[in-house]
Every structure is written in structure tokens, then in C-alpha cells.
Amino acid sequence: MTTTLSPSLPKVDNTFRKSVPPLEVPERLLLGPGPSNANPAVVAAMNRQPIGHLDPAYLHLMDEVQTLLRYAWQTANQMTLPISGTGSAAMEATLANAVEPGDVVLVGVNGYFGHRLVDMAERYRAEVKTINQPWGEVFSLQALRAALEEHRPQILALVHAETSTGARQPLEGVGDLCREYDCLLLIDTVTSLGGVPIFLDEWKVDLAYSCSQKGLSCPPGSSPFTMSERALAKLDKRQTKVANWYLDISMLRNYWGQGRVYHHTAPVNMTYAIREALRLLAEEGVENSWQRHQSTAEKLWDGLQDLGLECHVPKDYRLPTLTTVRVPEGIEAKAVTKRLLEEHNLEIGNGLGELGGKVWRIGLMGYNSRPENVDQVLSALAAVLAKLR
Ligand SMILES: *Cc1c(COP(=O)(O)O)cnc(C)c1O
């Protein structure tokens, strides 16, 4: 008997089938918490035919990405690679590989992403402890020491650049503290990599992750991950398998390292993209990129002050990549972001979590960190506020 397409199969509505138009994407200036606009050179790089993920040319490209990534982070960590997926995948990779059930993980919670770390660590069955600060503030060395003394964790996790608040956690001395208390230091550099000074090795950071779509001028989908020899030693001593097959570094290391053993199909075009993004960062020089982000942000801060607007975070630890601006009395925050998008093709972020309705979030990251973008967001904001007042 031959199989035929049964006319009695239940039918789904397919009347739309020939009327779906080809893809069209509006042109936006993305000055929110991410994604940011990608550098056109990066978009061009990913717009190539894929090659095989075991092709010698691809393997060479992987090596280049690793070298460039070590430079961006200022680390010599061998185990430095991009994880397939967005920043949260790389975030999960750090915890999945570092946490064994029952480990005490101490998380600094002073914003939305601290809570995400807590949630993830719990899912890997860590015993999670937190140290807390109001949203927009940071942790002092004394406070961290007291918490390490009290909880004696295996891992301390901190967010370097809290995108929900715009605060930069100082990290000088934190790694030494962690060595003293024999724990690993894990940091979130999603909104700092490329835009804010980072010295992973000097700071004695053991695990870090980032993303492609914020400071690296690249679309989302390939996310930097790194772990130190100390963190690898903990991985090698595990009694239990890493509870996440996709993100298991003990397997991924055989693809990124000597063996070149297939694990999962690499998102080949995303690797083209992040390679180009990291190449451009290296060409500019990280110090120059950090400087550019700082001076662009200062131009924004001055302009906001001229508009009578106030920043939420004190200048000492204010991020250059993401500025939280207080919403003035009598203005509905979301009405402003809506008009900016509709009337100016410009995206800025609304407040998240505790700061919902209280701040706007303006991102000046990577390719977007340029004075003309500051002029554009300031004039659009002035125009919209004038209409609403
Ligand atoms: C954006 C962000 C993440 C999550 O990254 P995704 O790419 O959205 O998955 C994690 N941490 C911080 C601080 C972020 O800003």
C-alpha cells in the first residue's frame, strides 16, 4: 500500500500562505539597555554563507575569537569561548559548571540581574545566600568581607554592570578577599565588556560572562564565557555531572580545545559576527573604547542636566554604558518611551523591577556610543517632554 497525503488530515488555516510579505525591518536607533545597533561591518560579516563547524577554516576562526576575547577581557584564561545563545545562556553556563548541589553561593543583589543569578543558582541546587543593597547602590569591600565571613560560600557572584540600575560595582580587592576565604569570584560583565574598564586577571576573577549585543556592537546570539584554572579545578573535581548538557564545559572544552570533538552545531554566522566585532574592538584598542564610552556618557549627563533631568546613580560609580534617568514628577514614563519610538524611531528603556516607572534607561554601547547619538536622544527627549508638559 502506498502512502498518500490523506485528504482527511485535520486542516489548519493556510489562507495566509501566499500573502506573507518579504521581511521588512524598521530602522531604529537602539539607545536602550540592549540590543544596541550592530556595527554595519559586523552585519556584513555575518551575512555570508555558513561553512562547516569542523572545517579547518572555521576551526582557525574559533582560535581567533578566543584570542580576541581574552584581549577584550584582559585575561589569559585558556577556557575562554563564546557560548551559543544570549547573555543568559553564558550566565547559566557559569553557574551550571561551577555549582555543585549543596554549594553555598553568595549573590550580591542590588538590581534585577542579581535576582536572576539567585534564581539560576537555586535551579542548580545551590544553597543561595544574598547580600543586598538598594537598587542603584553598590557593595563596599567591608560589606563583602562581612558577608563572606558569615556565609563562607564556595562562590561569590556579583554584577559588574547592573543594567537595571546603571551602577558599576567596583571590583578592586574583591578577588583577593575571595582567595582569602577560598571561594570563587563570578562576575556578570554583560553591560561592561567593551565599554567599561575590565581587568579579569588583575582582579582575580574566576568566572565571567557577557553578551554580544550590548558593548560589542554585534547582534544577540553569541555570548562570551570564561573560567580560570581555579574554576576548572573545581569542575574537574565534581562528584556529579554538570546538570545542563548544552552548556557543559567538560564536553565543550573538547570542541574548543585539542580534540575538536563535535558537541553541538556552532552558530557559524554568529561566530563570524562576534569575530568581526571583537576584531574591531582590538583595532580600536580596549582603552580607547573605554575612553570613548566615558566621554560620550559625560556628554549625555551634561545634556540631561541642561534639560533639568537627574541621574539616578552618583557619578563615582555610574556606568558609562547605561544611564538611569529619573522620570520627573507628573510625567508618565511609558508615554515618553512610546512617543520616542513612534515619532523619533528611537528606543530607550523603561525602568525594570523596583525602578519601573521611576527611571528611563539610556544605553550608549559599542557602535552606538557616539556624540551624534547623544544629540539625537537629547533633542528627541526634549521635544517629547515639551509636548507632554
Ligand atoms: C542583558 C543582561 C543579561 C542577560 O542577557 P541576555 O542577552 O538578555 O540573555 C544579564 N545580565 C545583565 C547585567 C544584562 O544587562
Judge if the beta carbon of residue 191 lies within 6 A of ligand 1. yes
Instruction: Establish whether residue 91 lines the binding site of ligand 1, counting it when its CB lies within 6 angstroms of any ligand atom.
Output: yes
- Of 83, 113, 198, 214, the residue with max ligand 1 atoms within 8 A of its CB, to mutate for a pocket test, comes to 113
Taking the centre of ligand 1 as the mean of its atom positions, its distance from the CA of residue 82, in whole angstroms, is: 15
Please tell me the distance from the alpha carbon of residue 110 to that of residue 167, in angstroms, as a whole number: 9
Atom in ligand 1 nearest the alpha carbon of residue 223? 7
The pLDDT of residue 2 = 57
10-residue block means of pLDDT along the chain (389 residues)? Answer: 63 85 96 98 98 96 98 98 98 98 98 98 98 98 98 98 98 98 98 98 98 98 98 98 98 94 96 98 98 98 98 98 97 97 98 96 98 98 95
Pocket test for ligand 1, best of 110, 209, 211 (most atoms within 8 A of CB): 211
User: Which atom of ligand 1 lies nearest, measured to the CA of 34?
Assistant: 1
User: What pLDDT shows up at residue 1?
Assistant: 52
How confident is the model at residue 13, as a pLDDT?
82
The model carries a pTM of: 0.96
**Structural contact between residues 215 and 366, judged by C-beta atoms closer than 8 angstroms:** yes
pLDDT of residue 31: 98
Query: 34 CB less than 6 Å from ligand 1?
Result: yes
Q: Could you give all domains of the chain from N- to C-terminal order, each with its CATH number?
A: 29-36+286-388 (3.90.1150.10), 40-283 (3.40.640.10)
